[in-house]
Amino acid sequence: MTPIQKLQPFIGTWKTEGQMRTGEKITGTDIYEWFPGGHFIMHKVDVFMGSQKKIGLEMFSYDAATGKYPMRSYDNDGNTTVLQATEHKGAWTFTGETVRGTFSFSEGGNVITGTWEGSENGKDWAPIMDMKLSKIS
């Protein structure tokens, strides 16, 4: 298995549910699919965060020099986010300058749960949302 193939468990369509720490519900769909050629994963996000519609596109790759998975995402508000993903004992951590998330798969691989945290200084982190993704297909 190549390092990029470690992302295979994400592939599929997922029902997305969650809750912001401010109380707003998160509902929608996440789709992870192999980009043609098999070197990248394309992640499409289509959710409501409260009453606000969020649409995003994210690309995952693998950097052999660092052993990490660089990710770049774009959303319908014009934001670009750069994250680095790492995997340790089945848990995935996605870290950027002001956000990070830790996610784990259920034993059968059909549910992903995790928490996103935010930081203003990159040192002090506070939870901002809890997420649950249930595999549809």
- What average pLDDT score do residues 5-32 get? 98
Q: Is residue 31's pLDDT more than 90?
A: yes
Contacts of 41 (CB under 8 A, 6+ apart): 4, 7, 10, 11, 32, 33, 34, 35, 59, 60
Q: Dump pLDDT digits (tens) for 70-117.
A: 999 999 999 999 999 999 998 999 999 999 999 999 999 999 999 999
Q: pTM, whole model, 2 decimals?
A: 0.94
Q: How many CB atoms lie within 10 A of CB 133?
A: 24
- What average pLDDT score do residues 34-39 get? 97
The Cα–Cα gap between 97 and 108 comes to 32
Sketch out the chain's domains with CATH numbers: 3-135 (2.40.128.20)
Of the candidates 53, 80, 11, 55, the residue with the CA atom closest to the CA atom of residue 71: 80
The sign of the dihedral angle between the CA atoms of 123, 124, 128, 130 is: positive
Looking at residue 125, what is its pLDDT?
A: 97
Q: Is residue 122's pLDDT more than 90?
A: no
The average confidence (pLDDT) of the chain is: 97
Looking at residue 1, what is its pLDDT?
A: 86
DSSP for 3-43, written as a single string:
GGGGGGGG-EEEEEEEEETTS-EEEEEEEEEEPTTSS-EEE
How much of the chain exceeds pLDDT 90, in percent? Answer: 98
Which residue type sits at 36?
P
